[in-house]
Structure 1
Amino acid sequence: MSKKFFLLLFSIILIFGTFLPQGKGIASSGTITISSEMVNVRSGPGLSYPLVLTAKRGEKYSIVKETGDWIEIKLSLDQTGWVVNWLVTKDNETNPGQAAASTGKNIAKANTDQLRIRSGPGADFPIVGFLNEGQEVSILDQNENWYKITSAFGEGWVIREFLDVLTVKSPSISSNNLKAGTVTADTINVREEPSASSSVIGKLTNGTNVTIISKQNSWLQISFSSLKGWVKAEFIETKAETSKDSPKNSTTGNYGTVTAESLSVRSGSSLNAAIIGSVLKGQRFAILEENNNWAKVEYESGSFGWVSGWYLEKTAQAPAKRSTKESTVTILHNGTNIRKQAKAQSNVVALANEGDTFTVKSIVNDWYEIELKNGGSGYVAGWIVSSNGSNAQIQKSGAESYLKNKTIVIDPGHGGGDNGTTGANGTLEKELTLRTAKLLYSKLSAAGANVYLTRSSDSFITLPSRVYAATANDADAFVSLHYDSSLDRSARGMTGYYYYNYQKGLADSLYTSTIAQTNLGGRGVRFGDFHVIRENSQKAALIELGYLSNPQEELTLNSGAFQENAASGLYDGLARYFKNN
């Protein structure tokens, strides 16, 4: 009996062995490491596929297979996802003679003319330059809707749809690229990674000379004695920057008049150079030197610095005065609202399309009064048109000035085993709150704020830990993001919550700005007994950004347009709050 049993068992094993996978066509063929700050992992090889999760820098995943520019990675025992190959580094790929630690930069080309480059990822950020169709740039970072790029003008952000990704270039690191630098701050932290949340591995004091190894976004990798790590670029002065700042008696023969309300003066001809002063709209300077789109001026007696040439009206002599009637504005977007009064809440009296031109009658704050084709007049926001003639281009008031150096903790609700609510069509609240939080994080970071996320991945964080993030960092504002649900599937709209009276101002500002930006229905600002605001000693608010239980509103909340507008609204709300407090 036992002999027959073993023969039967052996036969079964042979049969099953015949049908087991023999090749490695879809098996793991190595691993990848996420090399960008945050990378979207999608359910298929394309941007149109749903978002599965967001991976962060340094995370490693096994490769399943590759299709074109996309890599399928293993997320868990029974789940896979797809990432674009230029945002990851293959751990099993090394080229002969190339350092294993070298990383590549993705190269892209503008697919439209006069593509606006902004100082941050959002339409509210100032324009710092333009790209012409076909012009190539390097991609430094990305979020859902924007690419951070660098080219001859410096660094900036552009809308993703207007760049075509080309190839990956991996420059080798040579000793010829090393530069000397000097610490300019009293004390700076040296961190393990190029991130403000990374571990501090040492400190350097003012005047310390260091060797600059490489640069990544606004961080420098430096070495000093046996210490090697990352520091903020604004606190290091290079010899090249110092030489650029030496006064020159000669001029270019041109003059420049400042057209922005306030324009930063920098130590070098780059957005990465330290801000050393500012000049105001209407001030006029002799241009001493020009480099790309930057102009060197004597902004104070004996003090020299660089300003962006995009905000200078250049002339060979003093500009002659012209009446406003000689000036016109051109509409930049289809469906632009022309309003009865110079404010966003005023009634719309007409609509205009891209390319329409109107004569300027007067300027009221940040609005142009224009002459309509029917002989009447109306007002258009100055930052959504281009100005032609003697009037300076109006820029939307710089929210960055109110956010710079503020400490803000963003709390994406739920996470890990806590899904939050589930939408009518299956949307998980925990995924949507993180998506919104990361877009807001990008905008606030670009404005110079110190930003912390209570979670940056699909992880469970206790309520006391979320509150501790606010107190430990002495936050100027704590913003908890959520999406709502109700048994009544017709319920819709946004709600703001506070617990203490001193939190109401923040909740009001966030709610009002986000409602205005998204045009979503509003349910008001009210008292809410939620742990993260009740137990919080900092200025804190909780925002429910809409109802996932409403099938129609769920589709809106999932759209890229809503996510961008919601993040912009929250950003503006924080800026407005700090401006008034």
Structure 2
Amino acid sequence: MKKRKPLILVICLILLAGITQEGTQVKAENSTVTITTNNLNVRQGPGLSYPILGQAQKGDQFNALSREGDWIKINFQGQSGYVASWLISDMTTSQTGEKAASTNSQAIITTDGLRVRKGPGTSYGVLGTIQKGTAYKVKSTEGSWVKIQTPYGDGWVANEFVQYSGSQEQNSSSSSQTGEITANSLNVRNKPSLTSDIIGKLNSGETVAVISQNDSWTEISFSGKAGWISSQYIAVQSSQSKSKPKQSASGKSGTVTATSLTVRNKGSLNGKPIGSVTKGQTFPILEQTDNWAKIEYRTGSYGWVASWFIDMTAEKNSGSSQQSVNGSSAIILHNGSNIRKKASTQSSVIHRANKGDSFEIISLNDDWYEVRLPNGGTGFVAGWIVKVEGSAPAVTKPGAEQHLRNKTIVLDPGHGGRDNGTTGARGTREKDITIRTAQLLADKLRSAGANVILTRSGDTYLPLPSRVGISHYHNADAFISIHYDSTPDRTARGATTYYYHPFQQELAANIHSNVIAMTNLRDRGYRAGDYHVIRENKRNAVLIELGYLSNPAEEALIASAQYQQSATAGIYQGLARYFKN
């Protein structure tokens, strides 16, 4: 009998371990989850090694049975299956305190390197990091945590590190006044004194809630607390003045054509995101600079949007869709291109042009440029057969959006954080210009209805395996890694596109040919290349080098707004042609 005691003890310990393990599962009875990506694998167990039961589609909802680590157990077609928690959202249950967010509310991040977690607490795993000034759609809140839509999927951040815009209230202040900042790098202090501590900075164009004023100082709401700024650098508006609609100084209004368009505090991709507008909304155009338009995106709040995603119309009488494009030229891409009497392929041809011919652009009419002919007359040329020099927006071929709609495209801006990439002859850092290109391309693709994920949305370092992991997690239809080249030979120039696996070659060919056509860079070809982000990628992936920063002349071209438009239009068109075929 004594010899059996150790055996009985072992059996008891095993049973106790089973009870303990079962207790770690988070019950989620009466809960539902919503799938956030297409073709999501539902597995037989909580891990990537388990067999696949089937696939769920974006928007599908299921009853959640329990949580096991990073996996959610669901009721799938009458069976128990598991889905990855980082690819689902809107888990609602009577047992949690999660609350749905107000429609169109956005969270603006107030600190650098903020961790995005898989759940509302520091015990949950980290999906990635996001940077100060970036804005994300709010999905829901729970306690002191807020769920936001990020490039890594839906995740949670601490509420103390965000400011809200949109329908959700930004602060607890009940002030009926707001103010617009009129100076850059304006110090915000903890007391109304030049000797007090600086708690942050504001830039021209930003809007803040005004709490009080005393002579030369104004008290404002800043990052969830009270701060003080000099009154001479803020234009205060009362609720009465805000209620009056702003009249357009340009005599034009604009309708948003992108699904979701970021509003920034200045007319540049380097401007801080302060809100967003959606497709179909119309605003008076208050001011235009280069390719940016200033609008009143919310009552009393002003910001800048990219004008190539705004359909401009005159506010009075004409109803014309022509847009001013002064100082721009249209460069013909192909021999024998037709210039027509009217903006239509059915109109008669009045002039034929050859590759390299340049024409002054008078206006933009839908997808056609009105140009000045050598005889002094005018004609129309299709925007998708020319390259633009100047501030005029690049035009993509009509119908391309139908081939991009609902496609999942992962954009990978090369380098970031501690990894600067190469530095140009004039000091341009590769990591800065790759994110600029990616953000511009993302806006174009989203306007066509594509589901776009950026591997990084700010100046953050991301290991190469993590970039590939994002491609796999989202079952990307295409993965584009964006780079700029460098070599000791300062005369080297041109664009090169790389693929690794044979099935990636067709995507590389389509993107490369269209980028060359739109930018007129030297064609260095598309070829096989042994790069981690395409070698280890099981999805259709390419890496593109969009010119040489080591060449001073090409560096100046690369940094220009016109080149960025042309390059991203080329990638856009290449993706559309690939999916069409």
TM-score of the pair, normalised by structure 1? 0.47
